[in-house]
Homo-oligomer: A and B are copies of this chain.
Amino acid sequence: MKKFIFGVALVVLFSCNMYFAQTEQPAIIEDFKPSTLNQPGQQYPQVNSQGYARFKIIAPKAQSVKVSLGLGGRGGTALTRAADSSWVGTTAGPLDKGFHYYHLNIDGGTFNDPGTLNFYGSIRWESGIEIPAPDQDFYALKDVPHGKVQQILFPSKSTNTSRRAFVYTPADYDKDQSKRYAVLYLQHGWGEDETAWSTQGHSNLIMDNLIAEGKIKPFIIVMTYGMTNDVRIGGMANFKIEPFQTVLVNELIPYVDANFRTLPDQPHRAMAGLSMGGMETKTITMANLDKFSHICLLSGGTFSLDDVNKTPGFKEKVKLAFVSFGSRELGGNRGFGGGDPKANAESLKQAGLNSVFYVSPETAHEFLSWRRALKELAPLLFKD
């Protein structure tokens, strides 16, 4: 019975994300604009061209308003009361590019910023803010043919309910009714759920754009709930992989193969996951190498030569072993458990495996690392 002790270590170690791109802060340029993740018509929070975030909260009689975002684990950004009795404040430095979850602390309670859309992370719906990245074009909504993201409810006898998954089908899926597609099973991280990859992850837009540019052969993506949050905070040591493995391998995959035009064999089935989802991916695929040929761990563990050697059939059956991290996750004693991830990847390559290691520049344990990883791994899938 496997327990995710390592997973707990990762969550703890990565909880101090480094939000600031640098420590010497430049003068703030006053070109703030509403974040692209604001609710319709909401002017705050705002982001400037340097990546500073500015918040404005209406709570006239509050005694303190703080934003969890801003000081890299050192208490966030305290807002101050303005003349109009709103609360305002700007982060002490630029935030990393990409997507950040956050929340407010108002008089000692945890609430969301009413200005923003909500995203499921930390086993709650959190506020979200987006700092424009130089390469944001690859996940932008563009005038290209768009695939669909479908909510399915699949029967699950093992959990005695109908479970939800989201399925991305590429734009050409409905054009040629004889065409069949390979499938990537794509998992979220701890505290998140099956909504993560198609909302904050933009998996559908990343695929639409890669397909429109001719960079990948279209495939299907299936995103479901990894059941990582059923145990509460602090209980991850008791997390067991078996219930989710049963749902995924025995229930979801047969349902998808029966209800979508898939290529239902090992060469055309991949699994990827971020953080805890990477742990799940590694455990489930290595126990089911007859079902998965392409395995991708995003900020969620590595493959060592020892993993390969003690897993019968790994060399023959695994067509891609992809490992990625954000650059800010690397270096120092980051507790990767299985050894240095880059050295590991290199050792697999030396052993003749299709081992790919990718580092997302200047990002931490956050979604820009994983959007980029999806963009990098997609062209490597299902090559033969």
Contacts and interface: CB of A to CB of B under 8 A. Distances in A.
Interface of A: 39-41, 57-64, 85, 104, 106-112, 114, 117-118, 123-125, 141-143, 146, 148-155, 161-162, 167, 174, 177, 198, 204, 229, 232, 259-260
- Give how many copies assemble into the complex: 2
Contacts of A117: 125
Contacts of A109: 57-60, 62, 106, 114
A123 B123 CA distance: 25
Contacts of A114: 109-112, 124
Contacts of A149: 150-151
B64 A63 contact: no
A200 to B, nearest CB: 15
18 contacts: A39-B125, A58-B108, A58-B110, A59-B107, A61-B63, A62-B107, A85-B108, A110-B114, A111-B112, A111-B114, A112-B112, A118-B125, A143-B162, A146-B154, A148-B152, A148-B167, A150-B150, A174-B260
A59 to B, nearest CB: 3
B106 A62 contact: yes
Contacts of A167: 148
Contact of A60 (B58, B108, B111, B112): B108
Contact of A153 (B62, B108, B146, B162): B146
A254 to B, nearest CB: 15
Contacts of A118: 118, 125
4 pairs of A and B residues whose beta carbons are closest in the complex: A59-B109, A146-B153, A61-B107, A60-B108
A111 B41 CA distance: 16
Given A39-B125, A143-B162, A146-B154, 14 more contacts: A41-B123, A41-B229, A41-B232, A60-B109, A61-B107, A62-B63, A63-B107, A106-B107, A106-B109, A109-B114, A141-B153, A148-B150, A149-B151, A151-B151
A151 B153 contact: no
